[in-house]
């Protein structure tokens, strides 16, 4: 783990005892702090107490006496739609509020780094869609290249749970807007912004607040190199703010679909080919079309961002290309889970919003589309331009009937459950079709999270194919 620095002998309150909360408590203890833990769940408190931690109701009178800082888990609102009552109490008392990301950056450097030939580096990836795949892809490329690397944050392990980095190691972190919004310290060496589309708007009081949370990683983090997706206005604005001019190669602009030649450094994908341009010259080209782990234009954008991050570390294009070829993809993100009689079954359960579902619908020519769940504000009417590839929709969950009214003349069937949707889609599919789970909705009506929804789809497909 990374022992937390700066709080030895002091009390630090920890709110929320999930994966990141318990990892934070252990790292605080390792750094000599006295963690005071709280979670509304008796089960979570019992688990913490079984590890020897003290649980203290932080709303009790005097609970914050002598407390140096409150560390909160990312899922707990700290500002909008309104602060959690414990956080509100800390704000009233002037107790600093931070999260594990802030503690990580505050505590990462160690005295033994002076002995290293190459100091460890941190790559942080944020954005609305594709950040998990981009993070995992960077990590995979580094592994293939033989570079010591660890992956953590919003994917894999908690940031304070990783091992102290070795000489020349690269730590790759996926960071959500919840994490970047609150962290008091943000000092990545390389920062990646994939794209921006509406999501978590209640937590950020709208798109402006959502973008501002992502922007903090760059504007306040001061990375040595910025990789910025410029397919949306916000990305172009961010790249403009971070660069001294179009020739400034500290900013690497990334696009899926737009040729970017007039900049100091750019990486873009067009018609399935990745191209790297630097100072007016093409440096490399990679054919992405047959890479099974990266289907569709949205994954080509992820490939461009990961390629740019690894080029910023000095890796050779041919080595990166080799690693792209062996990338298997992530579960629940354009994941091929089976094939029968020319029909492929693809699990994109992570497509929980309209933008990510639109990207999934553009990745394949003939789709049997399984969609539905707990619909988000605005429904799915914005998907109408992307329904041309949908042969038929099979609608499940709470919003199935609402979705049926929002997809116009697209053939559809109300299936309610995943089991029926998979069975009906498989029964009607023809060679060349893709049975695609891309829900465009949250999972909480029928599943605890998108992973469980994807696992159910996978189980139904495997039972069908066995």
**If we measure between CA atoms, which residue out of 279, 334, 327, 331 comes closest to residue 307?**
327
Q: What is the pLDDT of residue 231?
A: 96
CATH number of the domain where residue 399 is located = 3.90.190.20
Do 87 and 133 share a domain, yes or no? no
389 is in an annotated binding site: no
Among 270, 293, 325, where does a domain finish?
325
Question: In this predicted model, what pLDDT tens digit does every residue of 328-370 receive, in sequence order?
Answer: 888 898 888 999 999 999 999 999 989 889 989 998 999 999 9
pLDDT tens string, the chain, 466 residues long: the values are 999 999 999 999 999 998 889 999 999 999 999 999 999 999 999 999 999 999 999 999 999 999 999 999 998 999 999 999 999 999 999 999 999 999 999 999 888 899 999 999 999 999 998 999 999 999 999 999 999 999 999 888 899 999 999 999 999 999 999 999 999 999 999 999 999 988 888 999 999 999 999 999 999 999 999 999 999 999 999 999 999 999 999 999 999 999 998 999 999 999 999 999 999 999 999 999 988 889 888 899 999 999 999 999 999 999 999 999 999 888 898 888 999 999 999 999 999 989 889 989 998 999 999 999 999 888 999 999 999 999 999 999 999 999 999 999 999 999 999 999 999 999 999 999 999 999 999 999 999 999 999 999 999 999 999 8
Pairing of strands 273-278, 281-287: antiparallel
> Which phi and psi angles does 303 have, rounded to 5°?
-60, -40
Residue pointed to by tokens 């992820």: 302
Q: What is the pLDDT of residue 328?
A: 84
CA 288 to CA 324: how far, in whole Å?
A: 8
Among 80, 98, 116, where does a domain finish?
98
CATH number of the domain where residue 169 is located = 3.40.1190.10
Do 456 and 429 share a domain, yes or no? yes
Sign of the CA dihedral 321, 350, 99, 49? Answer: negative
Do 416 and 272 share a domain, yes or no? no
In a domain, 418, yes or no: yes
Helix axes 354-361, 296-312, angle to 10 degrees: 100
Q: What is the model's pTM?
A: 0.87
Do 245 and 311 share a domain, yes or no? yes
Do 25 and 163 share a domain, yes or no? no
**Cβ atoms 80, 202 nearer than 8 A:** yes
CATH number of the domain where residue 51 is located = 3.40.50.720
> Which phi and psi angles does 187 have, rounded to 5°?
-135, 60
Q: How far is CA 217 from CA 141, 162, 176, in A?
A: 23, 21, 10
Do 298 and 366 share a domain, yes or no? no
Do 80 and 172 share a domain, yes or no? no
In a domain, 146, yes or no: yes
**If we measure between CA atoms, which residue out of 97, 106, 45 comes closest to residue 74?**
97
Question: In this predicted model, what pLDDT tens digit does every residue of 203-239 receive, in sequence order?
Answer: 999 999 999 999 999 999 999 999 999 999 999 999 9
Exposure string over 275-310, b if 16+ CB within 10 A, otherwise e: bbbbeeeeebebebeebebbbbbbbbbbbbbbbbbb
271 is in an annotated binding site: no
In a domain, 1, yes or no: no
Determine the structural domain holding residue 397 and report its residue range.
335-465
Among 98, 124, 144, where does a domain finish?
98
In a domain, 385, yes or no: yes
CA 329 to CA 294: how far, in whole Å?
A: 7
130 is in an annotated binding site: yes
Do 70 and 88 share a domain, yes or no? yes
**Cβ atoms 438, 421 nearer than 8 A:** no
24 is in an annotated binding site: no
* Residue 45 neighbours by CB under 8 Å, 6+ apart: 17, 37, 38, 39, 55
356 is in an annotated binding site: no
HSE of 100 in the Cβ direction (CA atoms, 13 Å)? 34
CA 121 to CA 310: how far, in whole Å?
A: 12
Q: Residue 345's beta-bridge partner residues? A: 338, 435
In a domain, 2, yes or no: no
CA 92 to CA 384: how far, in whole Å?
A: 47
In a domain, 422, yes or no: yes
Q: What is the pLDDT of residue 198?
A: 83
CA 12 to CA 64: how far, in whole Å?
A: 9
Question: How many structural domains are present in the chain?
Answer: 3
Do 413 and 340 share a domain, yes or no? yes
Do 184 and 305 share a domain, yes or no? yes
Do 32 and 176 share a domain, yes or no? no
In a domain, 460, yes or no: yes
> Which phi and psi angles does 280 have, rounded to 5°?
85, 5
In a domain, 162, yes or no: yes
CA 55 to CA 65: how far, in whole Å?
A: 15
Do 234 and 346 share a domain, yes or no? no
Exposure string over 15-39, b if 16+ CB within 10 A, otherwise e: bbbbebbbbbbbbbbebebbbbbbb
């Amino acid at each position: 783990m990374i022992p937390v620095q700066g709080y030895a002998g002091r009390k630090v309150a920890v709110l929320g005892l999930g994966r990141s909360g318990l990892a934070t408590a252990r790292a605080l203890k390792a750094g000599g702090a006295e963690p005071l833990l709280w979670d509304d769940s008796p089960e979570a408190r019992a688990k913490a107490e079984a590890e020897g931690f003290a649980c203290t109701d932080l709303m009790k009178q005097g609970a914050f006496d002598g407390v140096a800082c409150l560390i909160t888990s990312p899922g707990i609102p700290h500002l909008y739609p309104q602060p959690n009552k414990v956080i509100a109490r800390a704000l009233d008392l002037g107790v600093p509020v931070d999260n594990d990301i802030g503690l990580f950056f505050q505590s990462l450097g160690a005295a033994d780094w002076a002995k290293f030939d190459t100091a460890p580096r941190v790559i942080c990836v944020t954005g609305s869609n594709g950040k998990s795949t981009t993070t995992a892809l960077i990590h995979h490329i580094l592994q293939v290249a033989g570079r010591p690397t660890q992956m953590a944050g919003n994917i894999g392990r908690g940031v304070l749970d990783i091992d102290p980095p070795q000489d020349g190691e690269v730590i790759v972190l996926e960071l959500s807007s919840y994490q970047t919004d609150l962290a008091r310290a943000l000092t990545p060496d390389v920062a990646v912004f994939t794209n921006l589309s509406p999501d978590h708007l209640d937590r950020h009081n709208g798109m402006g607040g959502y973008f501002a949370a992502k922007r903090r990683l760059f504007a306040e983090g001061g990375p040595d190199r910025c990789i910025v997706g410029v397919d949306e206005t916000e990305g172009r604005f961010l790249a403009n703010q971070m660069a001294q001019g179009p020739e400034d190669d500290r900013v690497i602009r990334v696009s899926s679909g737009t040729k970017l030649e007039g900049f100091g450094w750019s990486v873009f994908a067009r018609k399935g080919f990745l191209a790297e341009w630097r100072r007016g010259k093409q440096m490399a080209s990679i054919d992405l079309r047959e890479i099974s782990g990266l289907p569709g234009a949205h994954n080509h954008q992820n490939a461009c961002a990961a390629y740019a991050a690894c080029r910023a570390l000095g890796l050779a294009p041919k080595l990166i290309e080799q690693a792209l070829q062996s990338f298997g993809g992530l579960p629940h993100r354009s994941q091929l889970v089976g094939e029968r009689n020319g029909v492929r079954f693809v699990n994109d359960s992570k497509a929980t919003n309209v933008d990510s579902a639109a990207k999934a619908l553009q990745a394949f020519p003939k789709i049997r589309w399984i969609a539905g769940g707990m619909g988000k504000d605005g429904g799915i009417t914005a998907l109408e331009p992307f329904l041309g590839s949908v042969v038929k929709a099979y609608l499940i969950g709470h919003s199935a009937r609402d979705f049926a009214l929002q997809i116009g003349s697209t053939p559809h069937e109300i299936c309610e459950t995943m089991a029926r949707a998979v069975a009906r889609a498989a029964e009607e599919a023809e060679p060349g079709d893709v049975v695609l789970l891309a829900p465009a909705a949250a999972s909480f009506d029928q599943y605890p999270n998108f992973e469980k929804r994807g696992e159910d789809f996978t189980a139904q497909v495997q039972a069908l194919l066995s």
